[in-house]
Structure 1
Amino acid sequence: MRVRGLAARFGLAALLALLGQPAAAGLTPKDLSGVGLAPPPGARAPLDAAFTDAADGRGLTLGQALAGRPTLLMPLDYACRNVCDPMLSLAGTALAATGLVPGTDFKLVTLGFNPRAPAATARAMVTEQLGQGPLLASAVVLTGAPGPVEAVTRAVGYAYAYDRDTESYAHPAGALVLAGDGRVARVLSPLAMTARDLRLALVEAGEGRVGGLADRLVLLCYGYDPQTGIYTPLIRRILAASGLATVLGIGLLVLGLHRRSRRDHPV
């Protein structure tokens, strides 16, 4: 997975996250250089990582949260008001516009990496940004100990840094689409998080179990660009498909004319 260009955007987003903090931030350029989102090849989130559901306090694993469905995983600092709030709100709006059914076609899972943000803060933040509705009702809001959180974030290449001076985190503003088995299918940029991109990413991660024929036809003509984190037209495929359609159309026209000629002028 080529993610340098996209990782650079996430690194920039991490720096922007610090702009709302006091000027005396204690993170050095070296600290910030390690902040980013760059999944290693074949990245897979550990499904046995154990967390707590902030909604009801029950324990559950990441695998149980995914429930075998394609999932938008969003690592968040539930106390962050600079990047996490608008990012979750933007994702919620885009997900609602995909036309997919939350909880059935896909899962939305948030993962809190700030151990100082309690479950009440997590619930309030997610509720405020998603609003009441099916998406909120099906969302899984995870909190947990540093060990399991780090196991997941490390596995998917999500790196953040804690600033002791401001008691805040520098972190990437990014989201990951996981297949039902925890494999990282796509990394999406919140700077370009559209309903189309989310739908195509979830359809791809669903491997034929989500979406319809029209989605699969679109995926033939659109490809994921890891440099931008969005789906862009594959011009060669579009031209090839258009050319094939033209040839078939001409062939059908000739065949029709030939049959008509034979009917009008029988031997």
Structure 2
Amino acid sequence: MSALANYTIKRSHNLQPRLLSSLHVFSLLIFVILLTRAQITSAQEHDVPPEELENVGVTEKLGEFVSDDITLTNQYGEEVQLADYLHNDRPVILAMVYYECPMLCNLILQGLMKGLSELSWQPGDEFDVLAVSISPTETPELARANKENYLEQLGNPDAADGLHFMTGSEEEVRRLGDQVGFYYEWNEQTQEYMHGSSLIFLSDEGKISRYLHGIDYPELMLRNALYDAADGRIGSPMDRVVLYCFQYDSQSGSYVPVAVNIMKIGGVITLVLLGGFLGFFFLRERKSRTEYAT
């Protein structure tokens, strides 16, 4: 066998482990890619909501108006219209719930009462609260019992005139829900309504101004949302200063601090304090010169 043949055989033997190693690495890489794609596909499939939840949720319709001719029934069994709670120079907090809800609606209303209990403004004076049942089978008596229960939780009997617990027909309540973007469905299997958890803030003209999502409504968020819904017509000058530091974030459905505004207020306060400090020493020096001259 020639020297060239011997070299070629040895060279091929040396290359075989490297070639096999490269094939192993390549195969492993292909496997990882396929596995990753499978996981992504599985995650995407899991992100797709179940069919029964496709028409359930809250779609924000900021700036739109609700019809004030929507007919409801109050806790005393009297037929009323939404107009009776609008055009009173007060914003409205709308909570779409149902009174026999096993859990979520109770948490929404409890969170609202907790936030209102810490608020210096009072329902019936600066704003109104309107709880509307999405269940057409619930009665005014049930609404009245719930009002008494949550009024007790609020711990403020004087707020009774500003808390309104309503029922209504399927058609009218659906119309209200569609206008404010609150969509819900009855689940025959669980015998419960499927719905979201949000408070909707209306101006006194029925304009949708804010949404607060979830079940926890801190006093500062309620105050900001009411201030915005009232177009700045409620609250003290100090409230205006504090609320100036926060801005509504539509993506999170909450209020977040605004660094620029906080810095502006901080700058004004610094100038006022510095001016007062310098003024004090100027007056003191002037007084000293007057006494020395005399």
- TM-score relative to the length of structure 1: 0.79
Compared CA separation, residues 138 and 220, structure 1 to 2 (3 A): closer
Partners of 1:43 and 1:174 lie apart in 2 by 17
Question: Gaps spanning 5+ residues in structure 1: where?
Answer: 1-27
1:56 corresponding residue in structure 2: 76
Partners of 2:191 and 2:147 lie apart in 1 by 21
- What SS does the aligned partner of 2:76 have? coil
- Choose the corresponding residue for 1:201, options 213, 222, 225: 225
Q: Quote the offset at 1:94 in angstroms.
A: 1.4
1:189 corresponding residue in structure 2: 213
2:113 alignment partner AA: G
Q: Quote the offset at 1:200 in angstroms.
A: 2.1
Question: Gaps spanning 5+ residues in structure 2: where?
Answer: 1-48
| Cα displacement string for residues 23-60 of structure 1 (whole angstroms, at most 9, x for unaligned residues) | xxxxx81231331112224222211111111x221111
2:63 corresponding residue in structure 1: 42
Q: Quote the offset at 1:254 in angstroms.
A: 5.0
Is 1:163 aligned to residue 183 of structure 2? Answer: no
Compared CA separation, residues 89 and 192, structure 1 to 2 (3 A): closer
How many residues are treated as equivalent by the alignment? Answer: 239
Whose radius of gyration is greater, 1 or 2?
2
| Cα displacement string for residues 168-221 of structure 1 (whole angstroms, at most 9, x for unaligned residues) | 210011111111111111111243301221122112212233211111111211
2:150 alignment partner AA: Q
Partners of 1:164 and 1:113 lie apart in 2 by 15
Is 1:83 aligned to residue 104 of structure 2? Answer: yes
Matches within 5 A, 1:13-24: none
1:20 corresponding residue in structure 2: none
- What SS does the aligned partner of 2:226 have? helix
Matches within 5 A, 1:80-159: 80-131=101-152, 133-159=157-183
- Choose the corresponding residue for 2:85, options 57, 61, 65: 65
What RMSD over aligned residues (CA atoms) do the two structures have, in Å? 2.4
1:221 corresponding residue in structure 2: 245
1:97 alignment partner AA: E
Q: Quote the offset at 1:257 in angstroms.
A: 5.3
| Cα displacement string for residues 49-84 of structure 1 (whole angstroms, at most 9, x for unaligned residues) | 11111x221111112024521111100112212111
Compared CA separation, residues 66 and 139, structure 1 to 2 (3 A): farther
- TM-score relative to the length of structure 2: 0.73
- Choose the corresponding residue for 2:269, options 222, 226, 245: 245
Partners of 2:163 and 2:130 lie apart in 1 by 6
Partners of 2:69 and 2:131 lie apart in 1 by 16
2:80 alignment partner AA: L
Partners of 2:238 and 2:277 lie apart in 1 by 26
Compared CA separation, residues 214 and 254, structure 1 to 2 (3 A): closer
Partners of 1:111 and 1:39 lie apart in 2 by 18
Structure with bigger helix share is 2
Judge conservation of contact 1:90–1:190 (CA < 8 Å) in 2: no
Q: Quote the offset at 1:223 in angstroms.
A: 1.4
**Percent of aligned pairs with the same amino acid:** 27
Judge conservation of contact 1:96–1:135 (CA < 8 Å) in 2: no
Q: Which has the higher contact order (CA 8 A, sep 6+)?
A: 1
